[in-house]
A and B are shown apart, each in its own frame.
Chain A
Amino acid sequence: MMQKETDVAVIGGGPAGLAAAIEANKGGCSVTIIERDDGLGGILQQCIHPGFGLHEFKEELAGPEYAQRYIDMLGETKVDVMLGTMVLDMTPKKEILAINEQGVVKVQAKAIVLAMGCRERTRGAIKIPGYRPTGVYTAGTAQRFVNIEGFMPGTRYVILGSGDIGMIMARRLTWEGAKVEAVVEIMSYPSGLIRNKVQCLDDFGIPLYLSHTVVRVHGKDRVTGITIARVDENWKMVPGTEIFFSCDTLLLSVGLIPENEVSRKAGIRLARTNGPEVNQFLQTNVEGVFACGNVLQVHDLVDNVAIEAKRAGAMAAMYATGIRLPSINSPDAVPLVAGRGIGYVLPIKVNTGVDLALASRIGPVNVSLRVKRPVDDVYVRVKNGAKEVYKKFFKHLRPSEMVIFELSAAALNAIDKAQPIEAYLEPKPAKELSEAKVA
């Protein structure tokens, strides 16, 4: 059994793991990335479409290009990379057990960054009735087939779910000469970015059926067709609204789930979002274990993954060099709860009374949230009891677009520990709106 010691172990070599490792290394730590694939870059390698890195590099890079930038940066460091190595177990004492072609590897770390990413929701998770033929794939699996393995999984497609991967695959398949008959979305609005709806569906005249879902998969051996139907506000099918499409493939783009099987083994508490519960230091309930990227929350922009991951990497480096960061288990950690209109908000808890020197070193607290449904003309407000912590007006908010903002150290110092902090939406009063129009 191979044994290894490292200051910071980063589990996962995708965009989050790469950024975290580089940052932890800057903090003066020995860093080891443990990656299950035989190469770095994670899911970015199959995301060949442009649109990555607009904020960070001011360029519209393709996924592999973005990954290459980080791989090149990593090449400048002394970060140790273990490829083809799958982590199977992790203890609260930060001992990692993994396997690769050389055998079992035991890595003893001082701090761990979880950066395992997420996986796709499947057919079973959403109860699609019908047969179980070949030709039902998640959008990401199809993406891998088409972009990396070099095979076309079908000729005529229906796509369930208007998530970004699904819409991007609609364009990709069309460009490869396949036909996409329809994209079907159970919600009354597209669940991906509007930009993707415009450039991936509208450009090709691909119809988007909102408030519809797949009610039957036809074909015992291979998909021969898909029946969709309208749903009511409770997602119950409306009889008599069925539409049949003749096709050979159904793609599913029905959501992503953080991949936290290993986290559970170390006793890490998960939030309702399936990501670990973390405080503003991105530290989980197991001290010295940090989480970032899609394993924490599913992001829509890789730039935001990088920002979050750098923070996690920096925190892990501080922890590994002996700086104790306030714990989420401490009585000073105040819950940050999702109020009216908010789907979820992170961090789960905010530690108050943080030592000033430490607070200034760490900088402001990043809060990220998603709204439950699309809304216009609202304030995002954060309150602690009667005290206002944050307030900002938004013209449009959609669940597909994560809202990220900072809470200043000053605001945090004034927090009353006895009361939770609540983030919620407040419609802008009609009077203010009409005045704004006149102006």
Chain B
Amino acid sequence: MKQKDVICVVCPNSCAITVKQMPDGKLLMEGQGCKRGEQYASDEFLAPKRTLATTVRIKGAFIPLLPVRSSVPVPKERLNDILDLLARIEVQAPFKCGSVVVQNVLGLGADIIATRTLGVDTCAKVACELR
């Protein structure tokens, strides 16, 4: 029988939830404070997901890195694969905040999108005056 302790992060209450899976696949839960917590714990038990935020290399901008994130949470166990892939990418400026860097990354149903505008609108640049 599989068992997992989950600390719920849905709200500040931080309930400590114990999830057990019965032989028939049904989940038993203890410690959850609400329905949303129950859903969170169930997701954490069956298929934990995370929003990935990192950077990719960018050419032609005043800084060498473009911040990106996954458009929706992706499976936790595939994070490393995505990070390895993103470490190999170099994009070319200009790039607009929200535009897609990698579509449907590794077929996981999430896009990798830029979270900053680089090389388009100077209003968005921070001090990097010396480059």
Contact = CB atoms under 8 A, between A and B. Distances in A.
Contact of A39 (B14, B53, B127): B127
B124 A194 contact: no
Interface of B is mostly: loop
B126 A195 contact: no
A15 B76 CA distance: 31
A37 B127 contact: yes
A396 B33 CA distance: 12
Given A38-B127, A84-B127, A148-B63, A202 B54 contact: no
A194 B9 contact: yes
Interface stretch (B23-31, B64-72, B100-108): B64-72
Interface stretch (A57-65, A91-99, A111-119, A180-188): A57-65
Interface string A147-161: 111100000000000
Interface residues of A, number: 42
B54 to A, nearest CB: 6
A194 B14 contact: yes
Contacts of B116: 45, 48, 62, 64-65, 68
Contacts of A39: 122-127
Contacts of A64: 67, 97, 115-116, 124
Given A175-B52, A198-B9, A396-B12, 18 more contacts: A37-B127, A38-B128, A39-B124, A45-B116, A48-B54, A48-B115, A62-B116, A63-B115, A64-B115, A71-B123, A149-B63, A150-B64, A194-B7, A194-B12, A199-B9, A199-B50, A202-B7, A398-B12
A203 B50 CA distance: 10
B118 to A, nearest CB: 9
A75 B120 CA distance: 14
B36 to A, nearest CB: 14
Contacts of B115: 48, 61-65
A401 B12 contact: yes
Q: Find the residue from B7, B52, B115 having the highest chain A CB count within 10 A.
A: B115
